[in-house]
Amino acid sequence: MAEIDLEQEKQDILKAYSSMLRAAKHAKKDAVTKKRMRKAFDVAVEAHKNDRRKSGEPYIFHPIAVARICAEEIGLGATSIICALLHDTVEDTDITLEDISRDFGNKEALIIDGLTKISGVVDNNKSIQAENFKKILLTLSEDVRVILIKLADRLHNMRTIGSMRRDKQLKIASETLFLYAPLAHRLGLHSIKSELEDLSLQCQEPEGFEEVQSKLKKTEEVRKRFIRKFSSPIKKILDERGMEFEIKGRSKSIHSIWKKMVKQNVPFEEVYDLFAIRIIIDSEEEMNEKSDCWQVYSVVTDFYQPNIDRLRDWISAPKANGYESLHTTVMSPTGKWVEVQIRTRRMDEIAEKGFAAHWKYKEGGAASQFDVWINQVRELLESNEENALDLIDDFKLNLFTDEIYVFTPNGDMKSLPVGATGLDFAFAVHTQVGVNCLGIKVNDKLVPLSHQLNSGDQVEVLTSKNQKPKEDWLNFVQTHRAKTRIKSSLKDEKREVAKKGKVLLEKEFKKLKISHENISLKELQSYFKVKSELELYYQVAIESIDLGKLKGLEVRKGVLQPKRTIIPKRVKTLFGQRKPTQTAPMKKPVLVIGDNMEKLDYKLASCCNPIPGNEVYGFITVTEGIKIHKTACPNTVQLMSNYAYRIIKASWIDENDVAFLTGLKIIGIDDMGIVNGITQVISNELSVDMRSISFDSHDGIFEGRVMVMVQDTSHLTNLIANLNKVKGVQKIEKIDS
C-alpha cells in the first residue's frame, strides 16, 4: 500500500477550500462571514479527520466539493456554503445539532437537520419510499436550501460513484433518476438535471451511454456546419443592428437521446440531429429584454418560415420553475424543422442554474414564481389526507412530465398536461361532462372553452343536455382523451344525420322512378366526389348535395353523367322543394389563418368586431393568441407599422353566408344561476353562434357582454325575447361598435 503523505494531503485540502471560496462569486465576503465559513471548514475537517471515502481520499474533500457546487453551479450564498461544509457531520460524526445551533445559528441547525432527515429517502420498499418522498417534500417547504444542498450532495456522489460497489451504484443511480433528477427539473436546475440523468445512465447502461457519446462526437462537425449555415444570415442582420449576442446549438442530452432510441426503437441516426438553436442576447437593460427578444424573433422569421402552432412565449408568462424564453420552430432550407430558443443572458442563466441564480439579481425580491410553487407544494401536502402512495403518484406526474394540477369545485385534484384547456378538463372529469360542456369557469370567472389552464386553477364546468361536440373543438383540445371522445361523438352525430339523408335519397329515387340498378350508390359517390356511403347520405341530409341534379343524370358508358338533353331550369326548382332559407342549416363561416389557411384558434378584436366577409388579418398577441382585426380597423396602421412581424394572414371562407356579429349587454341581479341561464338560452337558439362572452358582477349587480353571430334580425329579436325570460335578467341592450 502506498504511503500517504499527510502533510501533502493537508495542503491539498486547504487548496480545495480556497478554490471553493474563489468560485463562490455571489457569497458575501465580509470579515465576519469569512470567519464563519472558515469556522465551518475547521469544524468539518476536525469532525471528519479519521474518515476516508471509498476511493481512499480524505472525507473532507466531499463536503468541500458539495459547497463548491452550491456556490458555483447553483449560485447559493454563505449560509448554504456553511451548511454544505457541515452537511454530513451530524449524521456521521459526534457533532450534534445543538453544537451547530450554538456555534453557527438556528437557521443553519434547521437546514442541517433537514439534510440529515432526508438521507436514505429511497428504500426498496415502495411504501417506505413514498413516505420518505413525502418527507423530502415537507422539508422543502421549511427551507428550499435543504433540497438545493441535497441536490449538490447527490451530484457530487454521482460524479464520484465509480469507486462504489456495483450494487450500491445501481441503487443510487435509480433513486437519482426516480427522485433527484425530476426535483432538479422542477426547481429549474437544468444543467444539474441533465448531468444527473447522464451520470445515472452511464451507470445503468454503460454500453448505451458510450455508444451515444461517441456517435455524438462523430457527428458534431455536421451539426456545427448546419448551425453555422443556418445562423449566418441572422448573425449578419443582428450585427448590423449592433446587437450583442451569442448563437449556439444545443444538442439533446445523452440520456434523452438514449431514452428516445429505446422508446421509439430507432437507431441513433434517426434522433441525433434533434437539437435546438439558442440565441442569447446581451440586453443592455432588463426593460429592453422583451422587445429585444421579439426583435430577434422577427429577424429569424424573416429568413425562415415559422410554424405558428409552435410559438411559445414564456417571457410574458414564465413557467412555474422560472423558465423564461421565446421558442419558435422554423423550417430550415433543408426542409427540417428547427427549434429556435431566444432569450437574454439573464434568462439563460435562470434556465441553466435555476432560481437561485435569479436571486442574486433580485436581492431580497418579494414573492417570486418560485415561492408560489413552494406554496402550492405545501398546500398540496397539508391538504392531502390520503396515503403517501397516492400522493407520490399525483406528485410524480407533475415532476416527470410537464403537468399542471387543477381542482374541481369540491377540491379534487386532476392532473393535465401543460397547455390543457378547460374543455380537456371537462373530458377528464367525465365523457358526458365533456360532451355537454357549455362553458368553463376558472376561479369563478367565465372563460372560453379553449382557455388554457394553469396549475392551481379551480375549474367548474357548465353543462347543458342540448350541447353537442363541435368540429372546431378539435382545433384546441390537447389531451388524447378529449380528442378521441369528440371524434367519436361527431361521428355518431354524423350517422344520425346521415339516416335522414338516406330517407331523402330513397324518396327522391322513388319519385324519379330510379332504381338502384339504374344508378348505384357507388356511381353516385364517385359523381358527387364523396368518400363513403355515410358521407353521401350526410351530404344529402345537410343539402350540400343537391338532389335536384338527380333528374338530369343518366348512366352512359357505365359512368353517371348529365343527360344530353337540355333540362329546363324550372325542373330544378321543382325538385328543390325545400326552401333553403328556412331549413338549410346555417353553414358557419370559417376563418382560416396563415399561409397554409389553417383553422387556428382565434379571437375577434373588440376594437373593430370583424364579421364574415370583412377583409381581415390576424395579430399575434402576447397573451391572448391570435386576434382578428378588420383591415379597416383604426388600429391597423399602428399595429402594422410597429409589429409587422406579428401580423398573420387571415380570411373568411364561405363568405356567401349571411350572418352578422352583434353584441348584447345584459344587466341583471347577480344570482347563482344567471350565467348558466343565459348561456343555455344562447346555445339552445338555433343558428346563433356565441363568439365571446364576459361577465362581471359588482355590488350584487350582474353585467354580461355577449357577442353573438346571428343570421338575421328576427333571430336576434327572438334571442332577446328568450334572454328576457331568464331569471334575474332586468335589461338587455344591443351594443354596436
Footprint on this chain of Mn ion (rule: CB under 5 A)? 88, 153
Extended strands (E) in 528-581:
553-556, 559-562
Dist CA 119 CA 89 (whole Å): 13
Smaller CB separation from Mn ion, 88 or 689: 88
Residue 170 to residues 193, 274, 579, Cα–Cα distance (Å): 18, 29, 76
Dist CA 682 CA 688 (whole Å): 7
Helix (H) or strand (E) segment spanning residue 481: helix 480-511
In total, the chain counts a number of residues equal to 737
Smaller CB separation from Mn ion, 153 or 197: 153
Q: How far is the CB of 383 from Mn ion (least distance, A)?
A: 33
Smaller CB separation from Mn ion, 40 or 591: 40
Taking CB positions, which residue lies at the least distance from Mn ion?
Answer: 153
Q: How far is the CB of 491 from Mn ion (least distance, A)?
A: 59
Q: How far is the CB of 46 from Mn ion (least distance, A)?
A: 17
Output the nine-digit C-alpha cell for 7. Answer: 502533510
The answer to whether residues 345 and 66 touch, using CB atoms and an 8 Å cutoff, is no
CB-count exposure of residue 364 (10 Å: 0-12, 13-18, 19+): exposed
Q: How far is the CB of 273 from Mn ion (least distance, A)?
A: 39
| Catalytic positions, written as ranges | 91-92
Tell me the sheet residues that pair with 729.
Answer: 668
The SS3 call for residue 441 is strand
Smallest Cα–Cα separation from 58: which of 8, 95, 96? 8
Return phi, psi of residue 27, to 5°: -80, 150
Q: Are strands 602-604 and 437-442 parallel, antiparallel or unpaired?
A: unpaired
Number of H helices, E strands in the chain: 30, 21
Dist CA 706 CA 681 (whole Å): 12
Report DSSP state, residue 585. Answer: P
Q: How far is the CB of 54 from Mn ion (least distance, A)?
A: 13
The answer to whether residues 133 and 147 touch, using CB atoms and an 8 Å cutoff, is no
Output the nine-digit C-alpha cell for 218. Answer: 462523430
Q: How far is the CB of 175 from Mn ion (least distance, A)?
A: 14
Smaller CB separation from Mn ion, 72 or 88: 88
Smaller CB separation from Mn ion, 89 or 450: 89
Q: How far is the CB of 374 from Mn ion (least distance, A)?
A: 24
